[in-house]
């Protein structure tokens, strides 16, 4: 089948997602997106938004029809994530820029799909969640912005240690029933804000290290229970989570060796005041204001 250039080909905007551009191409050529995808050889009208999806389509045919090079098409797709990665990349529209979409209907930019994006890089305005929450405090929003910056820095620099820590923080919030597994890319603005704020908080306080100590230390757990008698369920969840993850993330026993070296796994060892203080702060800022409180605002 001979592929001809589409008669109308509006150029893609800076950082525009491939699916967004193909939607605009279909509108410019007075056909449906499904019809255009069929002409381009895309199965079942499925647009390759991830770079790995390009392996399943005839890229040469796509390039011939739209008049673009392979590198240009690839640059409009999203990167791939490994199975163990923190899910910071959405395949759905969980936030948008209302101003840019007013200027260009149906526009979707790539960076809108990243969990750390809070402002539109095109116009500088704040991105709007598809499910906004009006009760989020300024303090929580500010902390979430800093958490987003930490997440972006870790991804760009390839800091696997920080990403590993962020994933553990996300797991902990999920266990505490404060956020879902994919809250970082959730349409629910409240949940996403909680996770981003927790990333910022967890970067300053050794919450996870304290969790490991508490998990193997009954005296430490009792001390925290006396301090926070109303948070017994949260503390029990903390212990259960630490026991579960002590081996889940221990590659070749690395965490276990560090724990034994430092004496953290010895039953009956009293943790330092610094560790207990960190746990108290973490529970105060994440637990006492949020556990069993739907509609958490962070006040």
pLDDT tens digits, residue range 144-200? 999 999 999 999 998 988 888 888 788 777 766 778 888 999 999 999 999 999 888
What does the pLDDT average to over 236-261? 52
Question: Residue 276 in contact with residue 223, Cβ under 8 Å?
Answer: yes
Question: Per-residue pLDDT for 70 more than 60?
Answer: yes
Query: Token pair 């105060």 is at which residue?
Result: 284
Phi and psi based region of residue 268 (left: phi greater than 0; alpha: psi -120 to 50; beta: remaining): left
Question: Residue 61 in contact with residue 41, Cβ under 8 Å?
Answer: yes
Supply the pLDDT for residue 264.
35
- pTM for the complete prediction? 0.71
- C-alpha dihedral sign at 13, 196, 242, 159: positive
Phi and psi based region of residue 212 (left: phi greater than 0; alpha: psi -120 to 50; beta: remaining): alpha
* Angstrom distance (rounded) from CA 273 to CA 127: 41
Q: At 207, is the pLDDT very low, low, confident or very high (cuts 50, 70, 90)? A: low
Question: Per-residue pLDDT for 278 more than 70?
Answer: no
Closest CA to 218 of 256, 262, 268, 283: 268
**Coil, helix or strand at residue 19:** helix
Q: At 292, is the pLDDT very low, low, confident or very high (cuts 50, 70, 90)? A: very low
Q: Which residue would you say has higher pLDDT here, 218 or 70?
A: 70
Closest CA to 220 of 274, 257, 166, 182: 274
* Angstrom distance (rounded) from CA 181 to CA 172: 10
What does the pLDDT average to over 269-281? 53
Question: Residue 234 in contact with residue 291, Cβ under 8 Å?
Answer: yes
Question: Residue 107 in contact with residue 16, Cβ under 8 Å?
Answer: yes
Supply the pLDDT for residue 84.
61
Query: Alpha-carbon dihedral of residues 221, 224, 226, 227, nearest 10 degrees?
Result: 180
* Angstrom distance (rounded) from CA 224 to CA 206: 15
Question: Per-residue pLDDT for 297 more than 50?
Answer: no
Backbone angles phi, psi at 188, to 5 degrees: -80, 105
Q: Which residue would you say has higher pLDDT here, 236 or 140?
A: 140
Helical (H) or strand (E) element with 191: helix 189-204
* Angstrom distance (rounded) from CA 109 to CA 85: 22
Closest CA to 109 of 142, 58, 135, 75: 75
Angle of helix 218-227 relative to helix 232-248, nearest 10 degrees, comes to: 150
Supply the pLDDT for residue 209.
54
Question: Per-residue pLDDT for 299 more than 50?
Answer: no
The helices-and-strands tally (H runs, E runs) of the chain is: 13, 2
Question: Per-residue pLDDT for 255 more than 60?
Answer: no
Question: Per-residue pLDDT for 217 more than 80?
Answer: no
- Beta partners for 96? 128
Query: pLDDT exceeding 70 applies to what percent of the chain?
Result: 66
The average confidence (pLDDT) of the chain is 78
Q: Which residue would you say has higher pLDDT here, 261 or 280?
A: 280
């Amino acid at each position: 089948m001979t592929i001809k250039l589409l008669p109308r080909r509006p150029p893609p905007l800076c950082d525009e997602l491939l699916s967004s551009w193909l939607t605009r191409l279909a509108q410019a050529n007075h056909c449906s997106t499904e019809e255009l995808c069929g002409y381009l050889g895309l199965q079942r009208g499925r647009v390759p938004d991830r770079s790995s999806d390009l392996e399943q389509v005839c890229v040469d045919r796509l390039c011939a029809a739209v008049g673009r090079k392979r590198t240009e098409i690839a640059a409009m797709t999203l990167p791939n994530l490994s199975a163990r990665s923190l899910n910071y990349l959405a395949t759905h529209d969980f936030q948008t820029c209302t101003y840019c979409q007013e200027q260009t209907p149906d526009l979707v930019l790539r960076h809108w799909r990243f969990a750390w994006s809070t402002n539109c890089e095109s116009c500088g305005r704040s991105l709007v969640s598809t499910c906004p929450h009006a009760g989020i405090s300024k303090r929580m929003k500010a902390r979430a912005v800093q958490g987003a910056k930490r997440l972006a820095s870790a991804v760009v620099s390839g800091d696997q240690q920080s990403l590993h820590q962020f994933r553990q923080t996300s797991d902990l919030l999920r266990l505490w029933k404060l956020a879902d597994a994919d809250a970082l890319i959730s349409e629910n603005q409240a949940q996403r804000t909680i996770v981003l704020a927790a990333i910022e908080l967890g970067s300053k306080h050794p919450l996870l290290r304290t969790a490991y100590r508490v998990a193997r230390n009954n005296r430490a757990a009792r001390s925290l229970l006396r301090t926070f008698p109303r948070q017994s369920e949260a503390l029990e969840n903390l212990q259960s989570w630490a026991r579960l993850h002590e081996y889940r993330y221990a590659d070749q026993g690395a965490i276990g060796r560090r724990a034994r070296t430092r004496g953290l796994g010895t039953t009956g060892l009293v943790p330092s005041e610094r560790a207990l203080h960190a746990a108290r702060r973490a529970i105060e800022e994440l637990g006492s204001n949020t556990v069993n409180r739907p509609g958490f605002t962070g006040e």
